[in-house]
Structures are given as C-alpha cells and as structure tokens.
Amino acid sequence: MPELPEVETSKRGISPHLTNQVVSEIIIRQPKLRWPIPESIKALIGHKITAVTRRGKYLLLHSKPGTAIMHLGMSGRVRIINKGIPAQKHDHVDIILSNQQCLRLTDPRRFGALLWTTTEPLQHFLLAHLGPEPLSKKFDADYLYNAAKKRNINVKQFIMDNKTVVGVGNIYANEALFLAGIHPEKPANTITLKQYRLLVEKIKQVLQAAIKVGGTTLRDFQASDGKPGYFKQQLRVYGRGTQACMTCQKTLQEIRINQRSTVYCPRCQK
C-alpha cells in the first residue's frame, strides 16, 4: 500500500483524532509483525499523545514517556474507529483512547512494524540513517548529484534507496523518471547535474500532487477515513506496461529492476 503520499495522508487523517487524547488501553492481537511488538509499548497507557509526526514512511506517536514508531509495510493501514467495533482478520493492534475512539492497525502481509522507544526517536536504529525528506530544501540537485558520484547502480534503485532520499517507492520512482525523461537503468553516476535538477523537481512534483489527492489506491489502500486515493488517475507509466506512451504514443516497456516492476518509454526516456 503505502508510499510517502499514502503515509502522509494517513498521518493527516489520524493526527487530529489522536493529538491531546489520552490512551486508555492497547490491545495487541498479533504481535508478530516485521519485528515483535514490544510489551513495553503499554507504557503509553494513561498518557496523552502530544503529537503525530512522520519521518520517511514512519509514523511517530509522541508522548511524555516515549514514542511509538509505526511502519505500514506493503499492506498496512490505520483507521480511526469507535472502540468496540469487532476486529476483523488482520486487525493486529488497537490503541484505544479515553474518548472511546480507537486507532486500529491492519496489515495482512505483516511487513509493517510497531515499536517503542524512550529515547530520542530520530536516533532509533530504523530512523538514524535515513536520507533527507524529499519535500525538504535539503533534497536538491546538488545533494543528489554529489550522492550519486560513488554509486554505480541504476538511477531507479538509487532514488528508491532510503539512504539517498526517503519516501520514493516503486510507483513514484517510475513516474518521476518518466516525467524527467531519464531511463531507469541509467547508472546514477552518469547523470548530469542538469538532469538531476529536473529529476528532483519531478520527484517533488509527483509526491505533492499525490498527497493533494490522498495518495494512490491500487488494490486496498484507503485513507484513515476509508476514502480511496485518487492519484491512480494521474499515473503516466506505472501499471501501463505495453500501453502507448501518453506523450509520444510509442509502446511503453515493462522490465524488472531489483525484482520490482519498472515501466518506461523507450523514446522519451534516455
């Protein structure tokens, strides 16, 4: 499900319901996610959630005793519901608030995570080595060009590497490379500063546009209010292998890069 726009959509959806609310109960039905959910997360009970933030694709629930770190993996989803609505299959965790509302975490594939830290959350091992936020000023052409100098991998893997920049997943990597006219297999260290200028602009543009409409719903992504995202209608290449390029009409090519489906236009992307 989630790339950065979907996680940001989730954050915006749940934040107003959680901020300044007190946690009264935490129900863990299935602790086996990517890492086991620690029992210590129950330290949150009795405390107010002071803020909900996002770093990369991680959601952070801040409180006085510590921070819950949540990742939605490939199939995870969070919703705000009324406490007492019966749990379905794959509803792994409920964080119940004293106002009878409930944050429910659902994740069929269980690639997601829910961890707890009592120290500075940005220093947590999952977050400490992440690259810059794609929508921040720090992520610019100079940064990307310099980071690419020592990297002999193809540009698609390079921009999907969280140490390069966070939040660019498979869908938006395909889209941004198309919009920038860069072939996904081009080695990262052969791309000019000028091309990186365009690529940075397109990454920011495509992520912002997706956030604006609530993310991309392919199969099962739904925002925390149950609404789908509408970015699918704006996809230029992802999921369109063998169809015609929307710019030049040439048939798009679909290949695999690092086991991930990759679609590009052989004429528009060099």
Partner DNA sequence: CGAGGGACCTGGTTGC
Partner DNA sequence: TGCAACCAGGTCCCTC
23 vs 174 by CB, closer to DNA: 174
Region from 41-49, 97-105, 108-116, 197-205 binding DNA, contact rule CB under 7 A: 108-116
Is there a catalytic annotation at residue 202?
no
Selected range binding DNA among 10-18, 79-87, 104-112, 135-143, rule: CB under 7 A? 104-112
Count, residues near DNA per rule CB under 7 A: 40
Which is catalytic among the residues 151, 197, 260, 267? 260
Gap between the Cα atoms of 268 and 246, Å rounded: 10
Which of 66, 131, 132, 229 touches DNA (CB under 7 A)?
A: 229
| 21, 101, 170, 205: which one binds DNA (CB under 7 A) | 170
Active-site residue, 57 included: yes
Footprint of DNA on 185-214 (CB under 7 A): none
Per-residue interface string for the shown chain with DNA, residues 10-39, x marking contact by CB under 7 A: ----------------------x-x-----
How does 48-63 read in b/e, with b if 16+ C-beta sit within 10 Å?
A: bbeebebbbbbbbbbb
Q: From CA 177, how far away is CA 237, in angstroms rounded?
A: 10
Query: Minimum distance from CB of 89 to DNA (Å)?
Result: 5
Instruction: Check binding of 87 to DNA (CB under 7 A).
Output: no
Of 192, 220, 244, 266, which lies in the binding site for DNA, with binding defined by CB under 7 A? 220
Candidates 109, 212, 227, 250: give the one binding DNA (CB under 7 A): 109
Does residue 16 carry a catalytic annotation? Answer: no
Q: Which are the catalytic amino acids? A: 2-3, 57, 260
